[in-house]
Structure 1
């Protein structure tokens, strides 16, 4: 499949509606990129390195995911998620917070996880990674008053998701637990939007979205018949949300076309 030709057609139709970055990788080699090293405001894509940190530490025996965290029912971060609604529940396990952070993109769960190990510790851990210049975790979620912005590049988004998946495949006893919230992801309107796993049972789509004012992101792993493809689709200065979503869905269709042609 000629990715350059296919995506050029999308550029003609959608480039006037947003500024975008793309990174597409088949697990072994780069298939296509656009603005792959440009930093975009990350929105909820920043939750991916936090998730990786926790499972990496847990597998190394440095952290117990069954530990309990007491969360005050006052002052919880709003936006996406459910914890700011379920205020009667104040006792949560670390694992529950991790699952909520990915499956429903819970902002309060994310902030609790940052606080539990410390923002500075997470920042220091990121600095040790090969993708350290691709991701910047500077603040808690919804902390707009700080004036700081969390950022990620298209290449960085794929690198972190790929490392999460490889962590699971390298530690089979952990694999299902690590992949669970991605497979049960509640936000499927982006890259997976035109596809339905119920109609294509051997297709698996594991994704994480990121949304904020004039920002619409999605990064995903598509698996089909032992073939894989990773895609990061990042947008900023979005003029029409519907167009950004449609653009991501078209990229998802191209991913499936690539996988079916590769079989």
Structure 2
């Protein structure tokens, strides 16, 4: 009954929105409760940072102390877009801090420093060998003919794997996602319920895309929800954000 109700509400929202989108909702038993265009490939925007975090779990198996290693960040290599490092005086960072900033504040400088640390080639090969039609091919904000790509059918796997791990790296990742500085999309309207649980989320945006993935947790039950949207004009951006917010509200209400 819950699944049918959720399907009806989300179908109506998808149909009435009339936008280019992909939606996937799964429960804590990995059952698919709802999917729409979940195999469609979109540019990933900052959601690719989840893949980098997932790779960090693999890296931890080889070096359990890597999160304590220090990275010197050249002040001339501060990236545009999201981030807080540009306004801070510190130029020497632990890998742990860069990981937290990448996910919590979606910091592009932190992300690119981690890509350098792990190696873009290593990240790219590992991702292609583990997930179908998920690709990491470039640094954040880099002009390149190659793009970072995801589809929800595959992207939900590394998202779940981050939560399933009980390692030290996973703890940092989950704390960063729980306290994400950008909760205005999928969790954006849950204060209207109000929602008594907790949320974890990672958002992403480009000039032609608005994305978000979130876990809604209440008591011992959770739902994972991901939405990808694409548009051709800036006027459509608000429409896409509103759509994502309403999907999040529907999912949160179902718990």
TM-score computed with the length of structure 1 as normaliser: 0.88
Deviations 1:161-212 (A, max 9, x none): 11111113xx4x6653231100110111110001149x544x1110000101
* Runs of 4+ that moved beyond 3 A: 59-63, 173-176
CA distance in 2, matches of 1:34, 1:109: 33
Match of 2:72 in 1: 70
CA distance in 2, matches of 1:208, 1:157: 12
Secondary structure of the residue that 1:113 maps to in structure 2?
A: helix
Secondary structure of the residue that 1:23 maps to in structure 2?
A: strand
Matched, 1:93 2:88: no
Matched, 1:229 2:229: no
CA distance in 1, matches of 2:57, 2:191: 29
Match of 1:5 in 2: 8
Match of 1:253 in 2: 249
CA distance in 1, matches of 2:37, 2:127: 22
Match of 1:188 in 2: 183
CA distance in 1, matches of 2:13, 2:97: 39
The answer to whether the 8 A contact 2:57-2:170 is kept is no
Deviations 1:76-114 (A, max 9, x none): 11100112232x321000000000000000001100000
Match of 1:208 in 2: 202
The answer to whether the 8 A contact 2:100-2:172 is kept is no
C-alpha deviation, 1:44, in angstroms: 0.2
CA distance in 1, matches of 2:34, 2:58: 29
Deviations 1:205-258 (A, max 9, x none): 100001010200001111112111111100011542221111111111111122
Match of 1:135 in 2: 134
Give the gaps of 5 or more residues in structure 1: none
Report how many residues are paired: 249
Match of 2:153 in 1: 155
Q: Pick from 20, 29, 32: which aligns with 1:30?
A: 32
CA distance in 1, matches of 2:201, 2:188: 11
TM-score computed with the length of structure 2 as normaliser: 0.91
The answer to whether the 8 A contact 2:111-2:140 is kept is yes
Match of 2:162 in 1: 164
The answer to whether the 8 A contact 1:54-1:63 is kept is no
Match of 2:123 in 1: 122
Deviations 1:8-34 (A, max 9, x none): 21123211xx30001111132111111
Match of 1:220 in 2: 214
Per mean C-alpha deviation after superposition, the further-off stretch among 149-158 and 183-192 is: 149-158
Give the gaps of 5 or more residues in structure 2: none
